[in-house]
A and B are shown apart, each in its own frame.
Chain A
Amino acid sequence: MSRDRIGTSPNRVGGIGRVTGSQQYVADIKLPDALEVKLVTLDVARARILSIDSTAALAVPGVHAVLTAADLPQPVPRFGPQFIDRPVLADGETKYHGEPVAAVAAESKDAAEEAARLVKVAYEELTPIVTIADALAPGADLVQDPSIRPNDPLAGTNVLREHRFGWGDVDATPADVVVEGDYTFPMVTHFAIETHAYIAAPDGDGISVWSTIQHPNWLQRILAGVLGMPLAKVRVYAPDPGGGFGGKQHAKYEPLVAFLALRTGRPCRLVLTLEETFKAVRRTTTQVHVRTGVMSDGSLAFVEVDADYNIGAYADIADRVVAKGSYPAAGPYRIPAVRILSRSILTHTTPATAFRGFGNPQVNWAVESNLDAAARAIGMDRLEIRLKNVARTGDTLNPVDTRCDGEWDQSVRKAAEMIGWGSPLPPGRGRGIALGIKSGPTTGLSYSTVRLLSDGSVIVLAGTSDMGQGARTVFAQIAATELGVPLERIAVVMGDTSIVPYDQQTSASRSTVLMGNAVLSACRDVQAKLRAMAARVHGIHEASITAEGGVVRLPDRELSVLEVLKPGLGRMGGEVIGNGMARKDAEPDHPLSGSAAFFEFNCTAVEAEVDEETGDITIVKHVTVSDVGKALNPLQVRMQDEGAAIQGLGHTLMEHYIYDDRGRIRNLGAIDYRIPTSMDLPLHMESAIVENADGPGPYGAKGMSEGALLCVASAVGAAVRDATGADLRDLPLTPEVVWRALRERDRKNAEVTAR
């Protein structure tokens, strides 16, 4: 029993299905009579669609429908979490490489694929806007139809929104030294091993939709809107996703598959290929200009950040990524003056969406690298400048937001000690250290229902998606702790909007805090009902009874839960139902509409070795330390932190989309888009945590799992700079990029010598 409780690391709930192959992911679900769907796409980024001829496709045996925009309600329905801008099918013009112009439903995958190839689309290829510079060029074509955002003065530009944050007066704040620089972050994709998949099936006068979605309740709302159905008639099943990382937060092709199901009257299934998934989701990419003002004693005077984010063709949730990612750009420091300007810029590229870190790693790379440059400019140690400026508990960061809510310097000192900061290194090696901060959820709403059944076993209903982070296990541990039930007797039910109460979303590392608190309060509701039951059975006053951890204490004795339940429920059986809720309301005057529920804080330190001839980086040691408040499951915390660190090494060292001049992604799929394998890891990886039980979640927990990704690039880049003296501004640090930086260093050194 004790091994099931909070603070221990029992085996993952749902783990057996995952190691035996019996876990059912969306693509594993076979509905009787289901049709297979294939998207019809053009091998261009931007094209005007002149005509679509489905005749040959419809003649393929087994084909039931070829859906085009003309077959949809008119005007073509659009949807999106922030702007109602994404059409169910390309509406007159494709705006990114791979945007579907039609979809085929057929009896078999072979037939659907053959028919998709036979759909004849006449189109005129148009010059796409691929880069931020293209988008901002005077007279540039507009990516988005201005009627999508009427009354918006920016509607006549490719800037979707501008965000201005800050405090103090940067221009009036004196600094002894000002260092500035430009940094870029590459276009990377989630590459969850499970590709996106969708099934839709007519269900009486409603519809059922299975999706690899992270936010089933949000999808339900989108589908209800697009289909004109009441929420109660839209049932979304969200089996545990095979990795999400943000890419599966919002609706993509679910409305399309739903229309096909309604049209054919049959279940329709669309499993995207990896290449199609690449065309559907990516991280926002950035160009950042940073100015850091510092006093000669190392105290920060001001930080100014201009961040342009290329968000692609449709907004998805990317503008929120831009706002929330750039908002804490100045970092976890006490700074008298900060000015941030960030812009979401539309281009004819893959629509960007949330991705672990939510816009923060992009600016962290710039701001932390520039802080190193400032330290060098005043001759101060890079650790020392961070310790001097990092906020202490209760310190103000942004005057309108949550104050520093952790002992952050503890993490920094721990990481420095673990990496051996300051000890001598062999030639060719260097160290880097970087801090990362991310605002937790700014609003949130989670409900949970906990059902204590007549035999003392428990069902927890929680609408979080367990995509690997282990939410199922943590919720079960909370119930085990509160109700004294072993994990084997607890079932956690998720992912069915008709059964499981509402959860706003699985994002922003919120689930342990928000849904965790909801589960905790539902358990406490069960406890309260057990006390009332015991009072009734024993004819004593409820106030004299306590219930916790599976023990009901009467004034004269202790009873187990079952000893209360049996007489309390009687011969008819029944159950005790507890309800819980956790809510964080919006704050209308706040620049992000809500202050941070908590901050995720991480310090990453790296020792790296560089091969001067080839540019190869070897990460000799990688240390990641996160302030988690309280580790409810220490092993899962470690897995999340180390996993985030390795994912961060991807965009740091190797990952990026490569576009051709026609806006097509050249390195689609797993052959030329490289992610870390088991042979690409640091030689030593160590993770550690700081626990002060100072978080708002159950038992003092904070959200975690994004923190360890935030500053990976910054720490690695700093270590490479330390090892070589090369100036690095652009990720990923591929061997060739590092090799070029080394040549550039040599060229500059030669110039200096020549003078």
Chain B
Amino acid sequence: MTRTVPISLNVNGRPRTVDVAPNHTLLEVLREDLDLTGTKECCLVGECGACTVIVDGRSVDSCLMLAIEADGADVLTVEGLAADGRLSPLQAAFLDKGGVQCGFCIPGQIMSAHALLAENPHPSRAEVEEGIAGNLCRCGCYEQIFEAILATAEGVER
């Protein structure tokens, strides 16, 4: 068996210490060791974005990051967005605008959108298109996802 190494990281505002195998990705550790299954697995080559999480303020494909690389990092997953049982404005907008069909890509879409709005609170439509281009939606719900992100940005004070 592979030797495991303890790492400490902050996940959704909560300090966690977990023993990880060096060959396990952040995605595997989130899903299998920390039971945070909101982050999804699909392509495992950084193309689909279903596994998008935010590490130290930036969106990353957690399938392409070893968990051990996240030692000391701040990690935000979809489970960390709703506070006190209330949906975040983005989550609510995804529901209101119909940005969700099967839902499998949605955690990744929302995390990419979250990172986009954190950096650029009032993106243009083109910036939104580019901002989530790394998140495939096979249901083809892109128009509604754009609407949800733009509506969220509208709600943010300029």
Q: So, do A and B actually touch in the complex, CB under 8 Å?
A: yes
User: Interface on A for B, CB 8 Å cutoff?
Assistant: 9, 11-12, 14-25, 27-28, 30, 61, 110, 190-195, 240-245, 271, 273-274, 467-470, 635-636, 638-639, 642-647, 669-671, 675-679, 681, 685
Distance of A11 Cα from B100 Cα, bound (Å): 10
A240-B102, A241-B102, A639-B101 given as contacts; is B82 within 8 A of A193 (CB)?
no
CB distance from A273 to the nearest CB of B (A): 6
Partner of B130, one of A14, A191, A679: A679
Are A11's CB and B95's CB within 8 A?
yes
CB distance from A17 to the nearest CB of B (A): 7
Are B143's CB and A192's CB within 8 A?
no
Mask, B85-123, CB within 8 Å of A = 1, is 001000110111010111111110010000000000000
Specify the main secondary structure of chain B where it touches its partner: loop
Specify the main secondary structure of chain A where it touches its partner: loop
Are B101's CB and A643's CB within 8 A?
yes
Are B87's CB and A193's CB within 8 A?
no
Are B81's CB and A675's CB within 8 A?
no
Report the nearest B residue to A21, measured CB to CB: B38
26 contacts between A and B (CB under 8 A): A12-B100, A15-B95, A15-B103, A17-B103, A18-B100, A20-B87, A20-B91, A21-B107, A25-B40, A28-B31, A61-B1, A192-B138, A193-B48, A193-B105, A193-B136, A241-B102, A243-B104, A245-B138, A274-B44, A274-B48, A639-B139, A645-B140, A646-B142, A647-B138, A678-B142, A678-B145
Residues of B within 8 A of A671 (CB): 45, 47
Distance of A639 Cα from B101 Cα, bound (Å): 8
| Tally of A-B Cβ pairs under 8 angstroms | 166
Report the nearest A residue to B98, measured CB to CB: A635
Q: Which of A18, A110, A274, A639 has the most CB of B within 10 A?
A: A18
Distance of A110 Cα from B28 Cα, bound (Å): 11
Q: Is B10 an interface residue (CB 8 A)?
A: no
Q: Is B67 an interface residue (CB 8 A)?
A: no
Partner of B38, one of A22, A644, A685: A22
Q: Is B141 an interface residue (CB 8 A)?
A: yes
Q: How many residues of B contact A (CB 8 A)?
A: 58
Are A193's CB and B96's CB within 8 A?
no
Per the 8 Å Cβ criterion, residues 122-158 of B in contact with A are 128-130, 132-146
Report the nearest B residue to A467, measured CB to CB: B102
Report the nearest A residue to B111, measured CB to CB: A21
Residues of B within 8 A of A646 (CB): 140, 142
CB distance from B59 to the nearest CB of A (A): 14
CB distance from A196 to the nearest CB of B (A): 11
Partner of A670, one of B48, B95, B98, B102: B48
Are A19's CB and B101's CB within 8 A?
no
Residues of B within 8 A of A669 (CB): 43, 45, 47
Partner of A19, one of B31, B45, B95: B95
Report the nearest B residue to A677, measured CB to CB: B133
Residues of A within 8 A of B98 (CB): 9, 12, 635-636, 638-639
Residues of B within 8 A of A17 (CB): 103
Q: Which of A193, A470, A635 has the most CB of B within 10 A?
A: A193
Partner of A643, one of B1, B79, B140: B140
CB distance from A31 to the nearest CB of B (A): 13
Q: Is B21 an interface residue (CB 8 A)?
A: yes
Q: Which 4 A-B pairs have the closest CB atoms?
A: A21-B38, A242-B104, A18-B103, A468-B102
Distance of A642 Cα from B146 Cα, bound (Å): 13
CB distance from A629 to the nearest CB of B (A): 20
Residues of A within 8 A of B137 (CB): 193, 678
Q: Is B39 an interface residue (CB 8 A)?
A: yes
Partner of A28, one of B37, B94, B140: B37
Residues of A within 8 A of B96 (CB): 11
CB distance from A715 to the nearest CB of B (A): 16
Distance of A244 Cα from B101 Cα, bound (Å): 11
